[in-house]
Amino acid sequence: MLHRADHIIPFSFPKDHGRHSQFGTEWWYLSGRLGSEFGTDWAYHFTIFRRVFKRWSYLALVALAISVKSIRNVEFFKRSFARMLENHEPRHIGVEGYVGHLSITNIKERDFVFFERGGTSLFKVAGAEDNRLSVWVKDWRLWEEDGLAHLVAQREDFAIALDLLSLKPPILNGSQGLSIKGPGPGEASYHYSLASLKTTGTIKWYGKAHQVSGISFMDREFGTSILPKSVVGWDWFGLILDNGHELMISIIRSFDGTMAETSSGTMVFPDGATRCLVAKDLNVEVIEKWTSPSTSAHYPVHWIIKVEPLNLALEILALVKEHELVSVTSTTINYWEGPVNVSGSISGQNVKGHGHVELVGYAESAGGKF
């Protein structure tokens, strides 16, 4: 029987970095900005999604879609996964689907690559452990040993192998980790972040390895039927500022494009203290949009964000406007996710930074699919 995120729960780390099998949807999201020994800047984004299957027929449909992928029957594939992404019934068959997304961006060249990989928990092709950070999709893997997280993923002539050390304690977003998304019971997730991860490792770009280092941001959510059908999607900002602050903002969008009252954010201070932000604290102005030639979606790529209680004003600019991730063989939900630069002020003091923005629900509604 699946549970819903409908009350505050105690968190326990590192146990809660692991799988939460009693919930239908879960994801592990990492993004970061990394510099190399030759002065080239890189950005990356790595996500593993977990989803339980409700019925054997849904699993069979997805397996059949994967088997015919070689003849590029994309529409059949999309219909199959759309059935899997419908809102969950309380009961399920005990089989889970896992999807990995990886993007690597060469900031100097304004170029990026995107790869996706899927598998199910049958025969442990993909899976996650319950009590510690250990999740994988085939040979893509994120795990923790002795307080240090490790990430490896490779596809064709591109690869990423990183070690990540958390510099601040986990941040509970929303109300003590309960992040409300809609007005109905359980239309919510349990949501926490690791806002400052010291990162070192290697990026392989067109077959050439680059030693890299920098800072990453990890975002974690789990729940069942998280996003109601009454909303279209979300805009997520994970920003790392050069004065030791981090800012996470989640804008829930209604179908008319307005900000829902369930939108929220968290400011993380240099000492690890936090301040929870609610919708009325957030003023987000879109300055410019980019239109995708692939999906015709109109994505914001330039913003001004003001948070009056913090006397904060930030200008956020996408580094690669074309950073849409078109998912053909995994979630089949197309979205924009990419690196941004940040400049502005906090309490009259100039500040700069960087981060990632994720825009979901512009190509098609995501309501009721998570």
| Token representation of residue 101 | 């997304």
Q: What is the pLDDT of residue 55?
A: 57
- Cβ–Cβ < 8 Å for 268, 192: no
CA 305 – CA 195 distance, rounded (Å): 19
Within a 10 A sphere around the Cβ of 86, how many other Cβ atoms?
12
Ranges of the chain with pLDDT below 70: 54-93, 328-332
- Model pLDDT for residues 121-170, shown as the tens digit of each residue: 888 899 999 999 999 999 999 999 998 999 999 998 999 999 999 999 99
Q: Does domain 15-360 have CATH number 2.40.370.10?
A: yes
In whole angstroms, give the CA distance from residue 300 to residue 336.
9
Give residue-wise pLDDT tens across range 13-55: 999 999 999 998 999 999 999 999 877 899 999 999 998 876 5
The confidence score (pLDDT) of residue 58 equals 55
Side-chain half-sphere exposure of 19, counting CA atoms within 13 A: 21
pLDDT in the model for residue 71: 39
Within 10 A of 146 (CB to CB), how many other CB atoms are there? 4
307, 279 Cβ separation under 8 angstroms: no
Let me know: does 105 contact 43? Beta carbons within 8 Å. yes
Which residues, 6 or more positions from 341, have their beta carbon under 8 angstroms from its beta carbon?
316, 317, 319, 352, 353, 354
The CA angle 338-76-53, to the nearest 5 degrees, is: 75
Question: What's CA 115's distance to the chain center, in Å?
Answer: 15
With beta carbons less than 8 A apart as the criterion, state whether 259 and 272 touch. Answer: no
Taking every pair of C-alpha atoms in the chain, what is the biggest distance, in angstroms?
59
- Gyration radius of the chain's alpha carbons: 19
Domain ranges, ordered by start, for the chain: 15-360
Residue 193 in contact with residue 236, Cβ under 8 Å?
no
**Amino acid identity for residue 255 in this structure:** F
Identify the pLDDT of residue 221.
97
